[in-house]
Amino acid sequence: MPTVHLRFSALPAHVRTARLVAATVARRSGVGDDLLDEVRLAVGEACSRAVGQHTRSGLNEPVTMRLLTEPGRFCVEVADVVPIGVPLPGITSAADLLDADPDDMDESLGLALISGLVDDVAVIPGIDGTVVRMTWAATAL
């Protein structure tokens, strides 16, 4: 199974690297050009979210991104290691956003973007961290 794993310290600069790697491997895995912007954005959001979780929890451990190229699909998993996860902010409207704490707002906007952009997405909370899994169709090259 052709696979790429990237682990990086929880720093914003590395989110750019993760985006670049995901888009490059996606393209090479046969994800359509029209979807690459979406991959770049969604992967960036998932990674920013994980970096934010680590930073807010004061964790030094790295964030992990796994890219799986399978026949017909390209799958990205971004995992943080924050045990329970900072609870999801209860932001449900634009008006709430304006009142929210900035970190909560970023987290809420990030998840809104991921779920609005990606058809096949799952946020899987676990006792050892949360995994965001996103899958795109890919024609075999």
6 binds, among ligand ADP, other proteins, its own copies, none (CB under 5 to 8 A by kind): its own copies
Please give the C-alpha separations between residue 31 and each of 36, 77, 114, 115, 126, in angstroms, as whole numbers.
Answer: 7, 16, 17, 19, 29
Contacting other proteins within 49-108 (CB under 8 A): 51, 93-94, 97-98, 102, 105-106
Does 13 bind other proteins (CB under 8 A)? Our answer is yes
Binding mask 11-50 for ligand ADP (x = CB under 6 A): -----xx-xx---x--------------------------
- Compute the least distance from the CB of residue 23 to ligand ADP, in Å: 8
Please give the C-alpha separations between residue 45 and each of 49, 71, 104, 108, in angstroms, as whole numbers.
Answer: 6, 25, 14, 11
**Distance in angstroms (rounded) separating the CA atoms of residues 95 and 30:** 40
